[in-house]
Structure 1
Amino acid sequence: MARLLAEDDDLLVHLSWWEKAAARHRDVRVPSAAVRRVTVEPDWWRALRGVARGGVWIAGTLCIGERGHQGGKDFVVVRPGRPVVCVELWPGAPFSLLAVSVRDDPEVTARRLRRLAPRIDASTPWRQALPVPGETDPPEATTATRPGG
């Protein structure tokens, strides 16, 4: 089962050999400075956003790999019936969210990861919603220029 580890100044999602094969991905490593918020989602299915872009998706059994959505992409290693530690990342990181089901106490894991991150956004204890296209796009010019006017 995947583990969330702190190594040097990085956060590491360490995958077992079969998880690497299923996800078609190596371990995921991000700098601890990229961690924006760490939350615990008790309902595993609420951690999943967007659509599958690679990996293995067995309904009610296992969700592992990349998921794409309008806000970017997430990397998930989620098992039903287990709480999920959700690590939101600042823009510019390779993923928007890392979602990992953990064996250990998820609250202890989340607290440990929060202490690791120097740039935690503590404005809210909840995971942020995905941006809505049209609401986050820059406004276009509403007036057209007319010749001579």
Structure 2
Amino acid sequence: MARLLVDGGEVVVRLTWWERIVTHHRELRVPLAAVARVAVEPVAWRALRGVPEHGLLVPGAVSVGDRRHPAGRDFVAVRLPRRQPVVCVDLRAPAPYRRIAVGDADAERTAERLRAAVAEQGAAERDTPPP
């Protein structure tokens, strides 16, 4: 399944080979500065908003790809029967997605790493003098 990582100043979604095929993405990269909120949703289906637009949906089993809703688009990589919690990363404009939601067996730890990276990025930006 997909994994959420921090690489430099970006949140990265690393996809498995089959997720790359169905989503037509090699990986997703979003600047840490675009992250508005990181939360853990214990019930996977609650992290899904809108309707599938592109990717793979097997009802009750898996949802991977783009989902469209009135506020924009989300990218999801969730396996529903595993009852895994989902890390939800809410994003600010001009990010291409409003939310990235990825199932993760160790969701709390992943969310904490992301929150720490976002806080560190924010502190670094505040400490940098204007040009």
SS of equivalent residue, structure 1 residue 82: coil
2:62 is the counterpart of 1:69: no
Hey, what's the Cα distance between the residues in 1 that align with 2:43 and 2:96?
Answer: 25
User: What displacement does 1:38 show?
Assistant: 0.2
1:110 aligns with 111
Q: Higher helix fraction: Structure 1 or Structure 2?
A: 2
The answer to whether the Cα contact below 8 Å between 1:24 and 1:54 also exists between their aligned partners in 2 is no
Any idea what the Cα deviations from partners look like across 1:34-54, whole Å, max 9, x if unmatched? 111000000000000011110
Hey, what's the Cα distance between the residues in 1 that align with 2:96 and 2:26?
Answer: 13
Q: TM-score, normalised by structure 2?
A: 0.87
Unmatched tracts of structure 2, length 5 or more? 123-131
The answer to whether the Cα contact below 8 Å between 1:56 and 1:62 also exists between their aligned partners in 2 is yes
Q: Higher strand fraction: Structure 1 or Structure 2?
A: 2
Hey, what's the Cα distance between the residues in 1 that align with 2:60 and 2:33?
Answer: 34
Hey, what's the Cα distance between the residues in 2 that align with 1:61 and 1:70?
Answer: 24
The answer to whether the Cα contact below 8 Å between 1:38 and 1:114 also exists between their aligned partners in 2 is yes
Larger Rg: 1
Q: Which amino acid aligns with 1:11?
A: V
Unmatched tracts of structure 1, length 5 or more? 120-149
1:16 aligns with 16
Hey, what's the Cα distance between the residues in 2 that align with 1:60 and 1:47?
Answer: 13
Q: Which amino acid aligns with 2:100?
A: L
Any idea what the Cα deviations from partners look like across 1:78-129, whole Å, max 9, x if unmatched? 11111000000012111000000013x211110100011145xxxxxxxxxx
Hey, what's the Cα distance between the residues in 1 that align with 2:87 and 2:12?
Answer: 13
SS of equivalent residue, structure 2 residue 84: coil
1:87 aligns with 89
Indicate the RMSD between aligned Cα atoms, in angstroms: 1.0
Aligned length: 118
2:55 aligns with 55
Any idea what the Cα deviations from partners look like across 1:10-56, whole Å, max 9, x if unmatched? 10000011111122222110011111100000000000001111000
SS of equivalent residue, structure 1 residue 85: strand
Any idea what the Cα deviations from partners look like across 1:46-67, whole Å, max 9, x if unmatched? 0000111100000111100000
